């Protein structure tokens, strides 16, 4: 894969002509992880899978391509305060229980990472999948390498919602809009699908195989 071509293409099509070092590093880490499957050949996973993972990180991090806290807050306390205000104002209609409020141990299960990991149960499940105790320290989901593993493991296995990459990107077709169900129902599904297709075009231009799928573990 020619990364210079990839970055030049996404710089123009998705990032308004400019890329920060953080954005380059974040995308590079995702590309590295996608290559690191069994064997050593480039293009270790279906290009559609990789494109949708890049688009998911693009959306969930507000284009930063680096792990973030929910609401883009600088601290847990700030994120909790922002979420409390939004909840009180009725701006979170789908939330029944404020999952971000600190529990008896003082831990908050607010969203963190390249894909917003929320609720203690999800931290428990992903701990088992990535082999890192995120329950003991949920803040570890903000570590760059760990966040990449969470992104890959959750989307590959369907751990987030029960829908996986293999469910929507098959040998017979691709449901770019429906792929949002891997993360969060239909929220911004059309917008993220368009971004994913743009990432897919950039990957193809750079030489990444379009539909070759090899296990991401």
**SS3 (DSSP) at 36:** coil
| pTM, full prediction | 0.92
Q: Is 176 helix (H, G, I), strand (E, B) or coil?
A: coil
pLDDT for residue 45:
81
Encoding tokens for residue 66?
């680096």
Please report the pLDDT score of residue 70 as a whole number: 97
Q: Which two three-digit tokens encode residue 39? A: 């064997």
Q: CB count, 10 Å around CB of 110?
A: 25
Provide the pLDDT for residue 187: 84
Q: Which two tokens stand for residue 179?
A: 């792929």
pLDDT tens for the chain, residues 1 to 217: 899 999 999 999 999 999 999 999 999 999 999 988 543 344 468 999 999 999 999 999 999 999 999 999 999 999 999 999 999 999 999 899 999 999 999 999 999 999 999 999 999 999 999 999 999 999 999 999 999 999 999 999 999 999 999 999 998 899 999 999 999 888 899 999 999 999 999 999 999 977 654 444 4
pLDDT of residue 40: 34
Q: What is the pLDDT of residue 196?
A: 98
Ramachandran angles phi, psi of 169, nearest 5°: -120, 100
Rounded Cα–Cα distance for residues 206 and 62 (Å):
24
Task: Provide the 3-class DSSP secondary structure of residue 143.
Answer: coil
Residue corresponding to tokens 């203690």: 120
């Amino acid at each position: 894969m020619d990364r210079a071509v990839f970055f030049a293409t996404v710089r123009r099509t998705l990032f308004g002509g400019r890329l920060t070092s953080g954005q380059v590093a974040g995308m590079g880490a995702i590309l590295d992880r996608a290559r690191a499957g069994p064997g050593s050949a480039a293009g270790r996973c279906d290009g559609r899978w990789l494109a949708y993972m890049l688009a998911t990180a693009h959306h969930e991090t507000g284009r930063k391509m680096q792990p973030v806290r929910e609401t883009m807050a600088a601290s847990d306390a700030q994120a909790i305060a922002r979420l409390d205000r939004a909840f009180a104002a009725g701006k979170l209609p789908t939330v029944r229980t404020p999952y971000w409020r600190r529990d008896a141990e003082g831990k908050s299960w607010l969203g963190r990472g390249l894909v917003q990991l929320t609720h203690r149960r999800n931290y428990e499940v992903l701990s088992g999948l990535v082999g890192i105790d995120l329950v003991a320290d949920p803040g570890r989901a903000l570590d760059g390498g760990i966040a990449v593993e969470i992104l890959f493991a959750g989307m590959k296995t369907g751990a987030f919602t029960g829908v996986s990459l293999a469910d929507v990107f098959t040998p017979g077709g691709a449901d770019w809009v429906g792929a949002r169900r891997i993360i969060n129902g239909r929220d911004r599904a059309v917008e993220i699908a368009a971004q994913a297709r743009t990432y897919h075009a950039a990957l193809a231009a750079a030489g990444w195989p379009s539909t070759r799928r090899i296990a991401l573990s």
